[in-house]
Amino acid sequence: MTLDKKRILIWYWGRRGGGAYYTYKVTETLSSCSDIEVFLSLSNQNVLIDKFNAFGLPAFHVNTYQGRFSALLSILRITQLRLAFQDFLLRNNIDIVYSTMTHIWNPFLLSSLKKSSSKYLFTMHDALPHFGNIALISSYHKWQFTQEISRADHVITLSNHVKSQLVSSYDYCPNNVSVIQHGVFDYNSPTCVSRKYPESKNFRLIFFGRILPYKGLHLLLNAYQILKNDFSNLELIIAGFGSLSPYRKKLRELCDVIIDNRSIPDEEILCLFQDAHLLVAPYIEASQSGIITIAMGAALPVVATPVGGLTEQVVHRKTGLITRDATSNAIETSIRELVTNKELYEKCSVEALKQSKNILNWNNARDQLVRIFMNIK
């Protein structure tokens, strides 16, 4: 171990989804940095655990849970885990614990940091619970965020929108918050090229990710119904886990809708986006979207509503279109423009890919993170 380098523990005890891949990309880019020494603490149930282990980093991995019953039983182990976590921090002289995404157990482990004198940095993906969350879950998340913020030496947000929410809702010092834009999720894709307008193919829209009330699927379905009357070659892919019950009636009225209602494995995501022609993010509210970065890495133009941090990710008329408001009519208008404007479509594809390679490059995130690490005293 090299004692003159800052020792950074990357901490994420979640198991899957965007948080797991975000942590993987952060680990990949930081592990190549010669200015710091990187350690890992993950859940053994993380779906990417083998890929993480391939980095060969010193690690403290734990068994979390695999379902609701095991989650309840695992609560009994929190005290034991806290002591073991604290011991790891002390033995390895960890300078900074960096939580890439919060986990429900995080608040119960924070005392370990105080006793080890490790500084705490975390990335806040959301500052407030999303619309449609169960009240009890929302209350817990608000308490959880409060606990982590009170212990943090510095906070990273992925959009200026979330930074503003953090500062105003928790009375947090803005000087202790840094905005680092969400890096591209490329899923180790081969070299991507910009898209040509699909003149001889069906034009495929894609709605991707967990199906939750705040994501506005109902708005997209209404817009698609209008568009389908004018464009018989239009198709809609809905891919992601979540309840479709609120949308069943509308879906029965529609044709050429392809549904893949499950948690999509990482190895299948790239293919889905390569087969699509336009990502639609019809959200009612949002912090930011990792899904938009997948689209940009796949040279896919985006139609997004003007909510939250989405307007920071999509450059209007350059990488896609921001709708005039979060309504079905506005979404329909923007989709229609890209479906009928070959020149604009191809321009947005070129610029989306360019943004993914330049602005959303993980090396940019790495450099900003390392500067923050060095400035935390």
Token digits of residue 243: 């309840």
Domains 6-183+361-375 and 203-357 equal at CATH topology level: yes
Q: How many helices (H) and strands (E) does the chain have?
A: 15, 12
pLDDT for 114 equals: 78
Fold of 203-357: Rossmann fold (3.40.50)
pLDDT for 71 equals: 58
So what CATH class is 6-183+361-375? alpha beta
pLDDT for 2 equals: 46
Segments in 181-327 forming alpha helices (H): 217-228, 248-253, 266-275, 290-297, 310-313
Q: Which long-range contacts (C-beta less than 8 Å, at least 24 apart) are formed by 325-330? A: 326/216, 326/219, 326/282, 326/283, 326/284, 327/219, 328/219, 328/220, 328/222, 328/223, 328/226, 329/223, 329/226, 330/305
Phi first, then psi: what are they for 201, rounded to 5°?
-125, 165
pLDDT for 72 equals: 59
Neighbouring C-alpha atoms within 13 Å toward the C-beta of 85: 31
Of 356, 371, 67, residue with least CA distance to 189: 356
Distance CA 292, CA 208 (A): 10
Read off the DSSP letter of residue 201: S
Parallel/antiparallel/unpaired status of strands 234-239 and 6-12: unpaired
pLDDT for 129 equals: 76
Q: 324: Cβ–Cβ under 8 A, 6 or more apart, which residues?
A: 306, 330, 333, 334
Domain boundaries of the chain, sorted by first residue: 6-183+361-375, 203-357
Distance CA 218, CA 212 (A): 11
Q: 264: Cβ–Cβ under 8 A, 6 or more apart, which residues?
A: 208, 239, 240, 241, 272
Is residue 97 within 8 Å of 123, Cβ to Cβ?
A: no
Q: Which residues of the chain have pLDDT under 50?
A: 1-2
Read off the DSSP letter of residue 176: G
pLDDT for 345 equals: 98
Which segments of the chain are extended strands (E)? 6-12, 36-42, 96-99, 119-124, 154-157, 177-179, 203-208, 234-239, 257-260, 278-281, 302-304, 320-322
